[in-house]
Amino acid sequence: MRFRDRRHAGRELAERLAKEVEGPAVVLALPRGGVPVGLEIAKALGAPLDLVMVRKIGAPGQPELALAAVANGDHPELVVNRDVMRMAGVDEAWLEERKARELEEIARRRRRYLGDRARPRVAGRTAIVVDDGIATGATMLAALRAVRRAGPRELVLAVPVAPPDTIARLRPETDRIVCLHTPRDFVAVGQFYEDFTQTSDEEVIAALAAAPATGEEA
C-alpha cells in the first residue's frame, strides 16, 4: 500500500474512523507531518483539530540518540530511556533542566502555530492521536501518555502505516488502534508515500485554521 500524499492517507483513515468513532471527538495531530493527515480526519468527523507536541531529548554529544521524549499538555509527559540515561552518565537534575527547555520550545512553537487559541476539551471525548506514520514509536508513546492524562472517554491511535512490532508495543497505551498498513518490510515512513515532501510551518498554520471550530474549550 502506498499513499499519494498525507492528505490522501488522512482521507483513507477518515473513512475507517467514520465507521468506528461514536460521540464527540477531538483530533490531536503530531506536527508537522501529522497535521495534514489530521485535518482530513477532523473534517470528516466534524471534530476540532489540535496539536500534541513532542520533543526528543538527545544524549549529550549524541543528539540523535533519544534519551527521553517530552509531550506538552496540562500534564506534560516525560518518557525516559533509562538504559541510554545510564550510558550517557546524566542525572535527574540534567534531565529536568532539558525537560524544562524543551517544554519552552514546545510553547513557542504552539504560539506560532495557534496563537492564543484555546485548546479544545479532551476530557470525556474520543481523542484521536494522529501522525503520518510511526517508526520506533518513542515520541508517540509520550504523546499517548500525555493525552491519556487529559481524561478522554476513549483514546484512539490512528496512523496510515507502522511496523507490526511498534503497533504491538503501543497497543497497551490505547483503547483502539486504527492502522491501515503494517508491513514487515518497513524501513522508513516515507517509503509508503509517493509525495513525502516535508510539511512547512505555513501549511500547519493553514490546516489548523481550516479545521472545524468548536465552542467547547478546555
CATH code of the domain in which 88 resides: 3.30.1310.20
pLDDT at 33: 96
- Residue that is written with C-alpha cell 541510554 in the block: 84
pLDDT at 75: 74
- Helical H segments across 6-89, by residue range: 6-20, 34-45, 82-88
Q: Give, in order, the Cα–Cα distances in Å from 180 to each of 38, 63, 155, 177, 190.
A: 15, 32, 17, 10, 15
pLDDT at 218: 52
More confident residue, 137 or 40: 40
With a CB cutoff of 8 Å and minimum separation 6, the contacts of 132 are 6, 9, 33, 34, 36, 37, 159, 160, 189, 193
Statement to judge: residues 60 and 150 lie in one domain: no
Indicate the residue among 77, 92, 114 that finishes a domain: 114
Other residues' Cβ atoms within 10 Å of the Cβ of residue 65: 15
CA atoms of 102 and 68, how far apart (whole Å): 11
Q: Structural domain of residue 28, as residue ranges?
A: 6-53+118-210
Indicate the residue among 114, 138, 162 that finishes a domain: 114
Indicate the residue among 98, 114, 130 that finishes a domain: 114
Per-residue pLDDT band at 54 (split at 50, 70, 90): very high
Statement to judge: residues 77 and 37 lie in one domain: no
Is 165 among the domain residues?
Answer: yes
Nearest CA to 9 out of 209, 203, 199, 195 is that of 195
pLDDT at 23: 87
pLDDT above 80: residue 51: yes
Is 34 among the domain residues?
Answer: yes
Could you read off the pLDDT of 126-185 as tens digits, one per residue? Answer: 999 999 999 988 889 999 999 999 999 999 999 999 999 999 999 999 999 999 999 999
With a CB cutoff of 8 Å and minimum separation 6, the contacts of 130 are 10, 13, 27, 28, 29, 30, 34, 37, 38, 41, 158, 159
Statement to judge: residues 110 and 183 lie in one domain: no
Is 1 among the domain residues?
Answer: no
Is 195 among the domain residues?
Answer: yes
- Cis bond upstream, residue 169 (ω within 30): no
pLDDT at 118: 86
Statement to judge: residues 49 and 59 lie in one domain: no
With a CB cutoff of 8 Å and minimum separation 6, the contacts of 215 are none
Is 218 among the domain residues?
Answer: no
Statement to judge: residues 68 and 43 lie in one domain: no
In the chain, the amino acid numbered 76 is P
pLDDT at 120: 93
pLDDT at 65: 83
pLDDT at 2: 92
Statement to judge: residues 127 and 204 lie in one domain: yes
Statement to judge: residues 41 and 59 lie in one domain: no
pTM for this entry: 0.91
- All three cell numbers of 196, joined, read 513525502
Structural domain total, the chain: 2
pLDDT at 217: 57
pLDDT at 216: 58
More confident residue, 30 or 23: 30
Per-residue pLDDT band at 117 (split at 50, 70, 90): confident
- All three cell numbers of 189, joined, read 515512513
